[in-house]
């Protein structure tokens, strides 16, 4: 069990700065997911916590103790990699027991600890096999068991499901979540997969270009992105992003031939700003009607993607295009006249130049 | 422009039978998607149509003419692959001109320039024409590959997973563009993919392949709502359809998992008949009234929706619920289903009993 504090951490590789003044507190027992594209700095941040990478400046504290100058082995943290990195010549039991031999634990206690963790990870029947006889999922279970067996203060995972196929990934993801609930160990998990992040995390940390973009619970990140990067990175299909002009209560997308009417309170945050504005609305916040309806404007459907459970309908307003999520079969075809409205409560206004959400992250 | 027909096509690679007695009808101007897993025979089908593989038996008919013995060039089809296979040292223009410079086309320089310019405009790559292809992004390269296929105005476009090497957002964009291109060109498209989202969202028709056999052909909504068997039922939709074995009793379904009794609208079979019930995740209902219940095994959060995995006595079921639904892992939740959406399959051969 451990609280992890990252304070003003900078990391350079030569002239390249990969972490820019990173500050983050991970609470005891929390499951934090670092999400970002490759090159965003998430793996470097994880390796800095583990002690596999030194920091150029700043502090890392585990339970209040500064550890940035300690070796990885002295931080009492376990690490699971994407590649399973098991010892091929050892049995599963020997692999899991390895970290305990290093600390010279007694054989009986060691067996007990291995059996317990193998039971949790459902690999007890494989204990006497070699890793090469296991499936990918079971190999990763062994790697996790080996990480957990010595009851580390924290468990760090770097894309542990990256090489598994989709079905196994889903199953292992559920197991990792359940393991966390059962064991309560502080966990930091790195991924570029937003669904994994949304499904696993107590809080998501989004990193881009070495800069922390936003920290928040999954629903906060989804509903209240602080900037355009976060808005576009989370959610599928991607949030509609359009340049926009505001006149009175009229909101006009660039290239559009009509404007949406927004209530005063939805525009309060952008009143008086001189900035160029960008509007972000998720497809589920673009609402469609078959008939002319108060507050809706006329648009043309340009493309339908029937996905079975729902449809994604593209609508054109002049040159502008918006994607809407509708019930399956709601719109029967392309080139139809329909009426559209944007849900003001789910509309985000960003400063085009800085990318910041003008309503803030709430 | 062309109709394509395969008649009784069988293709073997050594002892391995890639295609088994395959019949296929693709209408002129159709966007036809072949959907299947690796090894289902979809790429082989495409290569047989292209003339790159010769079938062991059966016929390939193009526009009513037997083309089985025509070579690839004579068939006048264009193939777009997942790997871009462009000439790295040539500019975009050079790559687009390349197929037109062959003697068989006999085009003047002005005609070639005109065609290339028009294709570049269609694909919005005009500004890239003088760039070397090695300096393009993945999406731009795939556009150039498509452009090179379009420029010689073939009668058929064959596309083998052209989007699968691209990242998700770019794939979304190119999906829409390819559909638009198809409607502008009015040409016959045969598109191979293992991605059911691509199949559902792009195809006028989908052909589902399994182990070298064509299992079902239909519009996306037919395939989704009226699958011929459990294989097709599970090959479209995310997550896939839930299948639950049970017994018909007094017009209700008694499920093996948990012994729960759930209503069924369309009854197929006598009292006591064994049925494999199919229900899509979005047609599961968590409204607090049951009548069944399961333990929450996993919650997958998509922001707009959540996908729950429910453990019902060891059987895992998926349920798609609204993002506002609050459930905890290991919580026991009551669930039901929309009885009018329940499909009944024969548990011995997987056939959809609604279609009998």
Q: What does the pLDDT read at residue A360?
A: 58
Q: Which residues from chain A sit within 8 angstroms of residue B202, using beta carbons?
A: 305
Q: Is the pLDDT of residue A301 over 90?
A: yes
Contact B326, B310 (CB under 8 A): no
What's the whole-number average pLDDT of chain B? 92
Could you tell me what percent of chain A has a pLDDT over 90? 78
Chain A: nearest CA to B199, how far in angstroms? Answer: 9
Q: Residue B39, SS3?
A: coil
Q: Please write the tens of the pLDDT for every residue from B101-148.
A: 877 778 889 999 999 998 898 888 899 999 998 888 888 888 898 889
CA B179 → CA A302, A332, B175, B188, distances in Å?
11, 16, 6, 12
Q: What does the pLDDT read at residue A313?
A: 97
In chain A, which residue's Cα lies nearest the Cα of B310? A174
Among A178, A199, A305, whose Cβ lies nearest the Cβ of B201?
A305
Contact B216, B223 (CB under 8 A): yes
Q: Domain extents for chain A?
A: 4-224, 233-351
What is the pTM assigned to this prediction? 0.90
Report the residue of B175, B303, B329 to disrupt the A interface, i.e. the one with the largest count of A CBs within 10 Å: B303
Among B201, B238, B303, whose Cβ lies nearest the Cβ of A234?
B303
Q: Tell me, which fold does domain B4-235 have in CATH?
A: Rossmann fold (3.40.50)
Contact B125, B92 (CB under 8 A): yes
Q: What is the CA radius of gyration of chain B?
A: 24
Question: Alpha helix locations (H) across A79-224?
Answer: 92-102, 107-120, 136-148, 166-183, 194-200, 218-223
What is the CATH code for B242-355? 2.40.50.140
Q: Is the pLDDT of residue A361 over 50?
A: no
Among B220, B237, B300, whose Cβ lies nearest the Cβ of A195?
B300
Per-residue confidence band for A12, with pLDDT thresholds at 50, 70 and 90: very high
Q: Which residues from chain A sit within 8 angstroms of residue B320, using beta carbons?
A: 309
User: Which one, of B310, B343, B316, B349, lies nearest residue B328 by Cα?
Assistant: B310
- CA dist B114 and B108 (Å) reads 10
What's the whole-number average pLDDT of chain A? 93
Q: Taking CB atoms and an 8 Å limit, are B303 and A325 in contact across chains? A: no
Q: Taking an 8 Å Cβ-Cβ cutoff, which residues of chain A contact chain B?
A: 170, 173-174, 177-178, 181, 195, 198-199, 218-219, 222-223, 232, 234-238, 282-284, 303, 305-310, 312, 314, 325, 329
Chain A: nearest CA to B211, how far in angstroms? Answer: 20
User: Across the A/B interface, how many CB contacts are shorter than 8 Å?
Assistant: 81
Q: Taking an 8 Å Cβ-Cβ cutoff, which residues of chain B contact chain A?
A: 168-169, 172, 175-176, 179-180, 197, 200-202, 220-221, 224, 236-238, 280-282, 297-304, 309, 320, 323, 329-330
Question: Alpha helix locations (H) across A204-306?
Answer: 218-223, 228-233, 264-267
Q: What is the mean pLDDT of residues A330-336?
A: 93
Backbone angles phi, psi at A290, to 5 degrees: -75, -35
Among A174, A235, A307, whose Cβ lies nearest the Cβ of B200?
A307
Q: Tell me, which fold does domain A4-224 have in CATH?
A: Rossmann fold (3.40.50)
Q: Which residues from chain A sit within 8 angstroms of residue B323, using beta carbons?
A: 219, 222
Query: Which class is domain A233-351?
Result: mainly beta
Q: What does the pLDDT read at residue B165?
A: 80
| The most confident of A171-180, B82-91, B132-141, B235-244, by mean pLDDT | B235-244
Q: What is the mean pLDDT of residues B171-200?
A: 92
CA of residue A83 relative to chain centroid, distance: 20
Q: Is the pLDDT of residue B3 over 70?
A: yes
Q: Domain extents for chain B?
A: 4-235, 242-355
CA of residue A174 relative to chain centroid, distance: 15
Pick B132 or B230 by higher pLDDT: B230
Q: Taking CB atoms and an 8 Å limit, are A309 and B320 in contact across chains? A: yes
Chain B: nearest CA to A173, how far in angstroms? Answer: 9
Q: What is the mean pLDDT of residues A322-334?
A: 95
Q: Taking CB atoms and an 8 Å limit, are B201 and A306 in contact across chains? A: yes
Q: Taking CB atoms and an 8 Å limit, are A174 and B201 in contact across chains? A: no
Report the residue of B204, B226, B304 to disrupt the A interface, i.e. the one with the largest count of A CBs within 10 Å: B304
Q: Taking CB atoms and an 8 Å limit, are B303 and A218 in contact across chains? A: yes
Q: What does the pLDDT read at residue B245?
A: 97
Q: Please write the tens of the pLDDT for every residue from A135-169.
A: 888 998 999 899 888 888 899 999 998 888 888 88
Q: Is the pLDDT of residue A84 over 80?
A: no
């Amino acid at each position: 069990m451990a609280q992890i504090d990252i304070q003003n951490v900078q990391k350079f590789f030569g002239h390249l700065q990969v972490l820019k003044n990173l500050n983050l507190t991970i609470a005891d027992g929390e499951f934090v997911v670092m999400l970002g594209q490759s090159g965003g700095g998430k793996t470097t941040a994880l390796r800095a916590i583990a002690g596999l990478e030194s920091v150029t400046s700043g502090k890392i504290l585990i339970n209040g103790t500064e550890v940035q100058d300690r070796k990885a082995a002295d931080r009492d943290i376990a690490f699971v990699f994407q590649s399973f990195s098991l010892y091929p010549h050892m049995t599963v039991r020997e692999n899991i027991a390895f970290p305990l031999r290093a600390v010279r634990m007694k054989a009986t206690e060691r067996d007990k600890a291995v059996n317990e963790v193998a039971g949790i990870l459902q690999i007890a029947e494989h204990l006497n096999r070699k890793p090469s006889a296991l499936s990918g999922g079971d190999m990763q279970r062994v790697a996790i068991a080996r990480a957990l067996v010595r009851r580390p203060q924290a468990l760090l995972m770097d894309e542990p499901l990256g090489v598994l196929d989709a079905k196994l990934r889903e199953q292992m993801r559920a197991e990792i979540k359940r393991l966390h609930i059962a064991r309560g160990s502080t966990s930091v998990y790195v991924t570029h997969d937003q669904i994994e992040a949304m499904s696993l995390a107590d809080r998501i940390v989004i990193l881009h270009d070495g800069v922390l973009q936003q920290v928040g619970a999954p629903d906060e990140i989804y509903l209240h992105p602080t900037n355009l990067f976060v808005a576009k990175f989370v959610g599928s299909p991607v949030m509609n992003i359009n340049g926009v002009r505001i006149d009175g209560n009229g909101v006009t997308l660039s290239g559009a031939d009509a404007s949406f009417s927004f209530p005063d309170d939805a525009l309060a945050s952008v009143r008086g700003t001189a900035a160029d504005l960008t509007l972000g609305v998720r497809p589920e916040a673009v609402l469609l009607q078959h008939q002319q309806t108060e507050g809706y404007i006329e648009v043309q459907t340009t493309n339908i993607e029937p996905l079975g459970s729902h449809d994604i309908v593209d609508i054109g307003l002049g040159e502008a295009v918006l994607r809407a999520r509708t019930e399956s079969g709601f719109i029967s075809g392309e080139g139809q006249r329909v009426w559209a409205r944007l849900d003001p409560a789910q509309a985000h206004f960003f400063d085009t130049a800085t990318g910041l959400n003008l309503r803030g992250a709430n | 422009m062309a109709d394509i027909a395969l008649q009784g096509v069988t293709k073997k690679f050594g002892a391995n039978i890639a295609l088994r007695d395959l019949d296929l009808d693709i209408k002129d101007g159709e966007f036809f998607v072949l959907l299947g897993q690796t090894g289902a025979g979809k790429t082989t089908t495409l290569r047989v149509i292209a003339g790159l593989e010769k079938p062991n038996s059966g016929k390939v008919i193009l526009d009513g003419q037997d083309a089985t013995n025509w070579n690839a060039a004579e068939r006048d089809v264009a193939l777009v692959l997942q790997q871009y296979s462009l000439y790295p040292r040539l500019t975009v223009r050079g790559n687009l001109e390349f197929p037109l410079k062959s003697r068989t086309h006999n085009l003047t320089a002005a005609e070639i320039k005109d065609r290339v310019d028009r294709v570049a405009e269609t694909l919005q790559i005009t500004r890239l024409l003088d760039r070397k292809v090695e300096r393009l992004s993945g999406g731009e390269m795939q556009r150039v590959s498509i452009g090179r296929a379009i420029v010689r105005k073939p009668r058929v476009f064959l596309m083998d997973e052209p989007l699968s090497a691209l990242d998700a957002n770019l794939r979304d964009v190119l999906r829409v563009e390819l559909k638009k291109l198809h409607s502008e060109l009015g040409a016959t498209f045969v598109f191979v993919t293992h991605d059911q989202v691509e199949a559902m969202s792009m195809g006028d028709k989908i052909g589902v392949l399994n182990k070298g056999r064509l299992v079902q052909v239909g519009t996306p909504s037919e395939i989704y709502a009226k699958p011929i068997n459990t294989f097709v039922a599970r090959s479209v939709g995310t997550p896939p359809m839930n299948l639950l074995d049970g017994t018909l009793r007094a017009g209700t379904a008694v499920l093996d998992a948990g012994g729960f009794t759930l209503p069924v609208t369309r009854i197929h079979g006598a009292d006591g008949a064994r049925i494999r019930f199919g229900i899509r995740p979005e047609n599961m209902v968590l409204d607090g009234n049951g009548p069944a219940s399961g333990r929450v095994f996993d919650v997958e959060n998509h922001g707009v929706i959540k996908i729950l995995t429910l453990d019902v006595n060891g059987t895992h079921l998926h349920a798609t619920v609204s993002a506002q639904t609050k459930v905890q892992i290991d919580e026991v939740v009551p669930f039901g289903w929309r009885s009018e959406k329940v499909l009944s399959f024969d548990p011995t051969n997987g056939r959809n009993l609604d279609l009998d």
